[in-house]
Amino acid sequence: MAAEDQPEPDKPAGTDDDSAVAKLFGEWEVTGISYSDPSTERYITVTPVAHTMGRHAGKQFQKSEVSIVERLINRLMQTDENTGKKQQALNITRDAFEIVHERTEENPIQVLVQAIENAAPREETVRLKYGGISVPKAVDVAPQRRVDQSLKFIAEGVYGSSFKTATDVEEALASQLIGAANNDVNTYAVSQKEEKERVAAAAR
């Protein structure tokens, strides 16, 4: 029998194309994510890896290559109570994503991307000195800093909503993400962005 006539061996179970695609937390697709802000798109990296074990540490200007989910997790750790507790922050994020999916029926990664885009300030102020006088000046925000600021606002909103309150941190994170994704000005992250841009507009 010719080699081309031989039947193909059966594929082992679980090796079809769909199951071979890695998913974040084993649940969420990382493909097909849409971006509405082209300026920040290249700085919002989506990968199925939520914990790189610090492989990016010490590499200047490469933080934007780290998964945006891991960057959010790292931001959630930057408080006195949660410093260094990455596994705890990872579990909180996983549970919050479940809540986001239950409430919106959308991929929580897509909700996170929309939240970051909506909470990223486009203008801020710097202080310029003329002689002995300090004068505020409005400046455009670099795209990478916009993403950094957005993650900071989301993490601060989660901390403020959950620390010494009856609200679970998972609920607080889910609420912040959904509110920011909907561009709700009552959400801490969006309100901080609006405040920064308002101050900058006054300093033009």
| Residues in the chain, overall count | 204
198, pLDDT greater than 80: yes
DSSP code string of the chain: --GGGSPPPPPPTT-SHHHHS--BTTTB--SS---S-HHHHTT-B--S-S--TTTTTT-TT-GGGSBHHHHHHHHHT-STTTTT-HHHHHHHHHHHHHHHHHHH-S-HHHHHHHHHHHT--SEEEEEEEETTEEEEEEEEPPHHHHHHHHHHHHHHHHHHHHTTSSS-HHHHHHHHHHHHHTT-TTSHHHHHHHHHHHHHHHT-
pLDDT in tens, 12-42: 444 444 445 788 888 888 888 999 999 999 9
pLDDT in tens, 95-144: 999 999 999 999 999 999 999 999 999 999 998 888 888 888 899 999 99
Mean pLDDT of the residues in the chain: 84
Q: Specify the pLDDT at position 203.
A: 84
165, pLDDT greater than 50: yes
10, pLDDT greater than 60: no
Mean pLDDT of 64-91: 85
Mean pLDDT of 69-88: 84
CATH classification (class only), 21-202: mainly alpha
pTM of the entire predicted model: 0.82
199, pLDDT greater than 50: yes
In the chain, the percentage of residues whose pLDDT exceeds 70 is: 86
Greater pLDDT, 95 or 164: 95
Q: Specify the pLDDT at position 119.
A: 95
Confidence label for 60 from pLDDT (cuts 50, 70 and 90) = low
1, pLDDT greater than 70: no
Confidence label for 59 from pLDDT (cuts 50, 70 and 90) = low
Q: Specify the pLDDT at position 134.
A: 87
Mean pLDDT of 42-62: 76
Q: Specify the pLDDT at position 154.
A: 94
